[in-house]
Amino acid sequence: MFEDGFLPLSPLNFFELGLDCHSINETKWKDAIESKSYLFPDMGWLTNEENPYKFYLGWCEAGIAFMLETKEPFDHPEYPNVSDGDSLDLFFDTRDLKNVGSLTRFCHHFYFLPHKVDNHDRGEITRFRQEEAHELCDPKDLELHVVKKGSTTKMKGFIPKNCLFGFDPNQFKRLGFSYRINQKYTGPIHFSVKSQEYNVEQESSLWASLNLK
């Protein structure tokens, strides 16, 4: 019935994904981020992926805190092609512009590694399609803490406001957001947009919407 290469339909083709994101204490985020209040739902039913990870996200006026927790091996990162190894990609649109066909200066793509490769374990690698762009942030401004205990790995991080062009939670109460957990041996896991079906780095209109509560 269909020719080879036909892209199968999924729920993502029919509705936008949105959820609440709660505020967090700026000075106590490292401990607070482990609260269930910041735990994101497992969207495996939507992306048809088995997800052994837990992801947490919270916001404050100073920036955005996150944590990735896994009991699976997650210690084979690569650089500069970070998506070829174990890594976490975070995508933000500080204005959640769903009606724009390409990345704007409000869009960001950050990566985080479980340990350093060639002295790199964090950074911004946003790739814009047009002249409208912002200066990529200094990796030193991104905060990252990796704690391994037994089979559990926790990657905690903080992205400060100065690394998020256009981030103003007092004026804009919504963020565009997606994540991708890259796995060296078993393939990526996604929050809202699958790399096999869309160019997640460029399709910001398909990222989820976070309501800043």
Q: What is the pLDDT along the chain (213 residues), one digit of tens a residue?
A: 334 443 343 444 434 678 899 999 999 999 999 999 999 987 665 666 677 899 999 999 999 999 999 988 999 999 999 999 999 999 999 999 988 767 899 999 999 999 999 999 999 999 887 677 899 999 999 999 999 998 899 999 999 999 999 999 999 999 999 999 999 998 898 887 776 667 788 888 889 999 999
Q: Provide the CB-side half-sphere exposure for 42 (13 A, CA).
A: 10
